[in-house]
Amino acid sequence: MKIERNVLIAVVVVALLLGAVLRDQYVLHVAVMVLFYAVLASSLNLLVGYVGEFSLGHTAFLGMGAYTAALCATHFGWPMWLTLPAGGIVAGITGLVVGAITLRLQGPFFVIVTLAFAEVLRLTAMNWIALTNGPMGLAGIAQPAWLAGAGITEAKLFYYYVAVLLLAVTVYLSYRLVYSNAGRAAVAVRENRYVAQSIGIRPLTYALLALGLGAFLTGMAGGFYAHYISFVGPEVFGFPFMLSMIIMVLVGGKGTLLGPLLGALLVTFLEESLREAKELRLSIFGAAVMAVVLFMPRGLMGFLLRRREQRAEAVASIARPESVA
């Protein structure tokens, strides 16, 4: 618990310090994407890793956040520090409404319903042309005014710091949730629904809490994405984003706070370095995910934790004979 907290703080501090060093536009862009994906993966992990329900519809919240922020910015001229929370809140409410209906289902049923929900939203965004401009998307989302005078590097740097802030908020809220009575209740639901109920936990409450918080954070990330790319189209609801999130959570290690951050870092770098491989990229990814699921079912963090446990056990088994005697 202490170690995890210190490492999380270190991650945010290092991210802040990196901002003082990074000046290359391409590197900054990759860094922003790492942070963006770290927020997405962390928020998906709240549900997948701590409540144990697998959502394939997390892009629904990403899209809701992105479109909300884009519409608020273009129609009402809201500044970014308002559109991001607005995107988060709309996505969070969507999450609670969807969750109140779908979280009564478990396992594969829940997976299918969430997938369908994201797809319905994608089709809506495609076809409700009056609101969303259809497949053409919403372009020209306003940047903060002072950025117009600044250079491209400064603009990227600005978004980098916003992303660090977003990650800090995500890490703080996730940490608080996981190491609280509510977080323990969520884990109890994941581990054993019957035991959870027999000690007074209502499973739906904590599944909703994790989904609502995850949706809120994802929505903020969506709003951030809309401003950063300055464009939102129906593809924010699409499956590729979902795929990236899942791979990051699984590779990094679900059910740990550090895992998704590690996953986001690794997968984004891998994606960038495999650009030359083109079509082969997805196949390589597929193989990588299968390898992780088969050989490290708890992801990289799980693998590391396991090694620490094994060492502790070895120490304990040496100590035990004395305590028996």
Partner 1 sequence: MSFLEVRGMSKSFGGNHAVRDISFDVADGEIVGLIGPNGAGKTTCFNLITGFYAPDAGRVRFRDEDVTALKPYQMARKGIVRSFQKTNILKSLTVFENVLTGQYLAAKQPLWRTFFPGRSVVKAEADARERAEEIVRTMGLGARINAPASLLACGELRLLEVALALAARPAILMLDEPAAGLNSQEAKRFGDVLTTLPGGWVRSVLLVEHNMGLVMDVCDRVVVMNFGEKLAEGEPAHVQADPRVIEAYLGSGVTAAA
- Interacting residue ranges for partner 1, rule: CB under 8 A: 173, 176-177, 180-185, 187-188, 191-192, 194-203, 209, 309, 313, 316, 323
- Residue 118 or 196: which CB sits closer to partner 1? 196
Q: How many whole angstroms separate alpha carbon 325 and alpha carbon 321?
A: 6
Per the rule left: phi > 0, alpha: psi between -120 and 50, beta: everything else, 151 is beta
CB of 282 to partner 1, least distance (A): 33
- Residue 145 or 181: which CB sits closer to partner 1? 181
- Residue 148 or 319: which CB sits closer to partner 1? 319
CB of 76 to partner 1, least distance (A): 29
CB of 171 to partner 1, least distance (A): 12
CB of 255 to partner 1, least distance (A): 8
Q: How many whole angstroms separate alpha carbon 249 and alpha carbon 46?
A: 10
How many angstroms separate the first and last alpha carbons of the chain? Answer: 33
- Residue 41 or 177: which CB sits closer to partner 1? 177
Which ranges of the chain does DSSP label H, i.e. alpha helix?
2-21, 25-45, 58-75, 80-102, 108-127, 129-132, 145-149, 152-178, 181-191, 193-198, 203-229, 239-252, 258-273, 280-295, 299-324
Q: How many whole angstroms separate alpha carbon 284 and alpha carbon 216?
A: 32
- Residue 154 or 313: which CB sits closer to partner 1? 313
- Residue 5 or 75: which CB sits closer to partner 1? 5
Do 166 and 221 contact (CB within 8 A), yes or no? yes
Query: Residue 138: beta bridge partners?
Result: 232
CB of 220 to partner 1, least distance (A): 15
- Residue 20 or 323: which CB sits closer to partner 1? 323
CB of 180 to partner 1, least distance (A): 5
CB of 308 to partner 1, least distance (A): 12
- Residue 23 or 320: which CB sits closer to partner 1? 320
Per the rule left: phi > 0, alpha: psi between -120 and 50, beta: everything else, 24 is beta
Amino acid type, 229:
I
CB of 33 to partner 1, least distance (A): 27
Q: How many whole angstroms separate alpha carbon 133 and alpha carbon 143?
A: 20
Do 32 and 228 contact (CB within 8 A), yes or no? yes
